[in-house]
Amino acid sequence: MRRIIRITLGVVFIVLGILGLFLPVLQGVLFLIIGVFLLASQIPLFARIFCWIQEKFPALERLVERMRERVHHEWHPPPCPPEKD
């Protein structure tokens, strides 16, 4: 049941994020990041996007850890592939 709720909320946030990119009232990027955060543990595409965001913005790692603690203690971000040299 939690998985269905997480996926539904993730999709809703992704849709709101896409709408927010075109409407000045909504914060599109914020909703997209929340949607990716929710879907990363369920869908491999969003796991790769999540890893890309962490790679580009390493300061977000502390924020992700705090969000993980507040949202669900058992949720762990997906493992990112090792960096290629």
How remote is the C-alpha of 19 from its chain's centroid?
17
Q: What is the pLDDT of residues 33-80, one digit of tens each?
A: 888 888 887 888 888 887 887 788 877 777 777 776 776 656 566 667
What are the structural domain ranges in the chain?
2-71
Phi, psi of 5 (to 5 degrees): -65, -45
Q: How far is CA 27 from CA 20, 32, 33, 74, in A?
A: 5, 9, 10, 28
Provide the 10 A C-beta neighbour count for residue 39. 22
Which DSSP letter does residue 40 get? T
DSSP E strand stretches across the chain? none
**Is the pTM here over 0.95, yes or no?**
no
